[in-house]
Chains A and B, each alone.
Chain A
Amino acid sequence: METNPFIWPFTIGLLFISCFLIIIVSIWISGLSHIDKSRIVHSIFTRKSLLAIRETFMESLLHRKIFRKNLVLGYMHMSLAFGWFLLIVVGHIQAWNYYRSLSVPAYKAIFFRYFVTEPATTLSEKTLAACVDLLLVFILSGVMLAYFKRLNSRVFGIKKTTKLKAGDRIALTALWLIFPLRFLAESVSAGIHHNGSIVSQPTGQILSSLLPVHSLEMPLWWAYSLALTLFFVSLPVSRYMHIPVEVVLIFLRNYGIRIKKRIDGYSRIQVYSCSRCGICLDSCQMTHAEIKDTQSVYVLKHIRNKNLTDEKLFNCLLCGRCQSDCPVGLSLNDLRITQRIESTKEYNSSYEYLKNGPVEVSPQTEVIYFAGCMTHLTPAIIKSMKEIFAVARVKYWFMDEDKTSCCGRPLMQVGQYEAAKKLIGHNQERILASKANKLVVSCPICFKVFNEDYALPGITVQHHSEYLLELMVNKRLPMNKMPLRVVYHDPCELGRGSGIYHQPRLLLDEYAEVIPVKNEKETAFCCGGSLANIKIQMNERNQIRDEALEEYLSYRPDVLATACPLCKKTFAKSNKLPVHDIAEIVYMAIQEKQNLQKTEYKKEMKMEFWK
């Protein structure tokens, strides 16, 4: 078989990157827990693999999520990823078809036009050659957009972007050169040998009439091979590691593997899957307070480079807006919490004073009510809940009326995992001892930890918005739609954190008029009051809050409604409009109706009297 020395850089580069990837992915997978490893073994030959393949196709190749963000940006990514993928596949088919063998070395496919100097003769050869040509044009259109994006990123819907490191620059330069060089090399060869197809042949003819193509052919194929090599070699130190690693991530995620409370192979895979596209920069509200170096993309970069400081790690609200925008679907909040757990020293958390005395709860108790410490700072919510329980005749046990330990979530958010576990254990025992089977929580921060980190078999955990909706649906609450224009603010821990968007709206809609706003549900703002950030200054919090309020105020609501005591407190401090929890609004409506009924009753009584 004929060969040429220019294939060697490419072949060595390919060998290097293949070995590197196999080794590093093996290390990561061997760093998974036993359960996760058995998850892989048990899932690999199931439907989950098919789903993973589908997701890889939709996200890694077609880049569906980026398309949703911006069409031009989506096209750019798709043309490069999907185009290159097809080029490799079609290139190999072309080679297999020509050599009538499946064991053709990779370079024969990649440098096909160099080695096969005779023009395509059969229909299949002609079709494949045309396909390769068209795919190359397709990719080149993406490369052109990439050049253009460097000049003007706003067209692509990106306001801010990340800075490149040396490794990224090398890989990026290589990536930008690969396809133009290949196109030139193929066209020049076509100009000499007339072996081109629909695009490369005419280009080759033009080039041969202008340039000394014979002396250009070898340098161009060498340059193409070297560009590929450069890309392969710089891949491990560049952000383009996300291309191969993201595929691994998609498979593991489909097998049910999740981020743990400690750094493991899977969290490493997540870190390397970040493409540093910078989409998270645009959604981060910290920029409203001029904080521009703590966003997820930077934290992941610093984790990879082992130079993450606590200043950056802890200066984040954990609102999760970046997570819902991330095109790779990284678990950015959990990753940050894991990192916080690792970098936090356990402090005085013996909690020896917590003693589980006997829990005396009447056997008829329907519901355990846990207000949470933030709700104790907003007693209007507790009062409303108590009144509503009375109206609906619910027998409940107010678990933290007097003395209870914290739910553990704020400790969890700042990385005090061991301390949180002690509180969780304490509360868990009390809840189970009560023998009730429903736990209603007024604070979304507590709700999330009860839901995710407590072991409460047989007990349904509900946020009060879900519970009140249930009471209403079961006709245990009077109905009364008030003429009140309400904007509903999704609390981070309830919305993005726990996926509860609709229940509060359904409930509110029965008692007031809910006005939809631009940034709601998945893209809802954080109030700025988050307990998860222990670095931020009060004035910075206020800036974040005011920016969010500005949007809400533009809809001219009578009331800003929310379902979290912390959000309520944060917004109420601004003193710009009345802020109420969803429970208060329900109680307000019920009370209004009852007062109305009373006066009507009195009127009727009077009428009867006069008769």
Chain B
Amino acid sequence: MKHIVIIGGGIAGIETASALTDAGHWVTVIEKEAQVGGKLNNWSYLFPDFTPVDKIKSVLQEKCSEKDFSILHQTEVSSIHRKNGKFNIEISGEHQLEADAVVVATGYELFDARRKEEYGYKIYDHVITSADLEQLLLPNGDLTVAAGENPKRIAFVHCVGSRDEKSGNHYCSKVCCITGVKQAIELRKRLPEAEIYCFYMDLRMYGKRFEELYREAQEKYDIEFIRGRLSEASEKIDKSLLIKAEDTLSGRPLKMNIDLLVLLVGMEAGKGTASAAASCGIGCEDSGFLKTADSFLKSNFSEQEGIFLAGSCTAPMSVNDTILHARSAAQEVNNWLLRR
């Protein structure tokens, strides 16, 4: 029986583990947190059809409990060494695991919005990120702002920490556009009276039913999309916000008073990704995400034989893309082990 170690117990890790267990392998998942699910745990509903996250999470949980693979919680990998065609994986500094193959499924980090200081995240009271908003969108979430009132005017800023030379991230995080549309609609449902604006550069509605949702957001939910990036925000005495932007379609600067500002934060490679990658000899892209051996045919292969990649550690990815990528990783690992 071949032993496969999977680093990361998010969607990609669990999905790969489940598929490889089905294929008859012995699988161990290493997860740094106390529970599996990764970033999914911060989310409430998924685009484009508002699927409750709990639905996906419970499937993952089921797989964890029913399938015969083990999960090492609150455990981190210290080093990976290749020895006699196998991998020696040192975990949390003491134990060692031996594996025939390794799958890296370490996922992503959310962009730290404090780095765009001009938007005032953690400086002004009513500037939040899309991840913060997701918690507030739960049925019991409290959306009130100053003086206990619901916000009357809300603005979303797209591309915070993505496609932004100044924050050092040139790439597109892919999922924030549709997340913004989804969250704007959810807010509209909760706050029928509010004015909702989205400030965008482009709207990249690449996926199935995304464009339709965007159209619906405008036609049915009366959400206003303004093409232009926010330059800065400032806080007034009553804790409302004054934002400055340029409407690039009408070609003029604009100022607006709002009650709540939502920053659609992008994805970044995990903090430890570069050093971890270096320690086991696999490369990173300029973006910081892990390099795949071939972008068409080997998107689950790292530059090292026997080390595979699954999910958003390779690039920003939506939940459904991650599931597919994880399943294909399992397939590739299985084929590779059979060939040996």
Contact = CB atoms under 8 A, between A and B. Distances in A.
Interface of A: 376-380, 382-383, 401-402, 538, 542, 569, 572-573, 575
Nearest to A542: B168
Contacts of A379: 117-118, 120, 123-124, 232-235
A377 B118 contact: yes
B118 A573 contact: no
A402 B166 CA distance: 25
A79 to B, nearest CB: 52
Contacts of B231: 377
A376 B165 contact: no
A378 B117 contact: yes
Interface residues of B toward A: which range?
A: 10 to 19
Nearest to A378: B117
B117 A376 contact: no
B317 interface: no
B293 interface: no
Contacts of A573: 115, 166-168
Contacts of A569: 117
B242 interface: yes
**The 7 nearest A-B residue pairs measured at CB:** A377-B118, A379-B120, A378-B117, A376-B232, A379-B123, A538-B165, A380-B123
B115 A572 contact: yes
Interface in B123-176: 123-124, 165-168
Contacts of B124: 379
Interface string B159-196: 00000011110000000000000000000000000000
Contact of A383 (B123, B165, B166, B232): B123
Contacts, number: 37
A551 to B, nearest CB: 21
Interface in B91-119: 115, 117-118
B242 A402 contact: yes
Given A383-B123, A401-B234, A402-B242, A378 B118 contact: yes
Interface in B252-303: none
Contacts of A572: 115, 117
B271 to A, nearest CB: 10
Contacts of A401: 234
Contact of B234 (A376, A538, A542, A575): A376
Contacts of B168: 542, 573, 575
Contacts of A377: 117-118, 231-232
Given A377-B118, A401-B234, 17 more contacts: A376-B118, A376-B232, A376-B234, A377-B232, A379-B118, A379-B234, A380-B117, A380-B123, A383-B123, A383-B235, A402-B242, A538-B165, A538-B166, A542-B168, A572-B115, A573-B115, A573-B166
Nearest to B120: A379
A383 B115 CA distance: 16
Contacts of B123: 379-380, 383
A376 B232 CA distance: 7
Contacts of A380: 117, 123
A538 B168 CA distance: 9
A542 B169 CA distance: 13
B122 to A, nearest CB: 9
A376 B123 CA distance: 12
A379 B113 CA distance: 13
A388 to B, nearest CB: 15
A235 B296 CA distance: 67
Nearest to B121: A379
Given A376-B232, A379-B124, A575 B165 contact: no
Nearest to B244: A376
B124 to A, nearest CB: 7
B234 A382 contact: yes
Contacts of A538: 165-166
Nearest to A565: B117
Residue from the set A376, A379, A401 with the largest chain B CB neighbour count within 10 Å? A379
30 contacts: A376-B118, A376-B232, A376-B234, A377-B117, A377-B231, A378-B117, A379-B117, A379-B118, A379-B123, A379-B124, A379-B232, A379-B234, A380-B117, A380-B123, A383-B123, A383-B235, A401-B234, A402-B242, A538-B165, A538-B166, A542-B168, A569-B117, A572-B115, A572-B117, A573-B115, A573-B166, A573-B167, A573-B168, A575-B115, A575-B168
Nearest to A568: B117
Contacts of B117: 377-380, 569, 572
A569 B168 CA distance: 13
Contacts of A542: 168
A533 to B, nearest CB: 15
Contacts of B242: 402
Interface string B229-257: 00111110000001000000000000000
A542 to B, nearest CB: 8
A211 B281 CA distance: 74
A180 B194 CA distance: 90
A536 to B, nearest CB: 13
A378 B124 CA distance: 12
A378 B232 CA distance: 9
A47 B64 CA distance: 91
Nearest to A381: B117
A408 to B, nearest CB: 19
Residue from the set B115, B117, B234, B235 with the largest chain A CB neighbour count within 10 Å? B117
Contacts of A383: 123, 235
B167 to A, nearest CB: 7
A560 B123 CA distance: 19
A573 B161 CA distance: 11
Interface string B218-237: 00000000000001111100
Contacts of B234: 376, 379, 382, 401
A401 B123 CA distance: 16
A432 B139 CA distance: 55
A382 B233 CA distance: 12
A398 to B, nearest CB: 10
B254 to A, nearest CB: 13
A66 B64 CA distance: 74
Contacts of B165: 538
Contacts of B167: 573
A383 B242 CA distance: 14
A345 B166 CA distance: 29
A374 to B, nearest CB: 10
A380 B233 CA distance: 12
Interface string B301-325: 0000000000000000000000000
A342 B123 CA distance: 43
A380 B123 CA distance: 6
Nearest to A371: B234
Contacts of B166: 538, 573
Nearest to A538: B165
A379 B116 CA distance: 10
Contacts of A575: 115, 168
Nearest to A374: B118
A380 B120 CA distance: 7
Contacts of B118: 376-379
Contacts of A378: 117-118
B275 to A, nearest CB: 14
A580 B232 CA distance: 19
Nearest to B165: A538
Nearest to B233: A379
Contacts of B233: 379
Contacts of B120: 379
A539 to B, nearest CB: 9
Contacts of B115: 572-573, 575
A379 B166 CA distance: 17
A98 to B, nearest CB: 75
A538 to B, nearest CB: 5
Nearest to A574: B168
A519 B127 CA distance: 38
A559 to B, nearest CB: 15
Contacts of A382: 234
A411 to B, nearest CB: 18
A569 B115 CA distance: 9
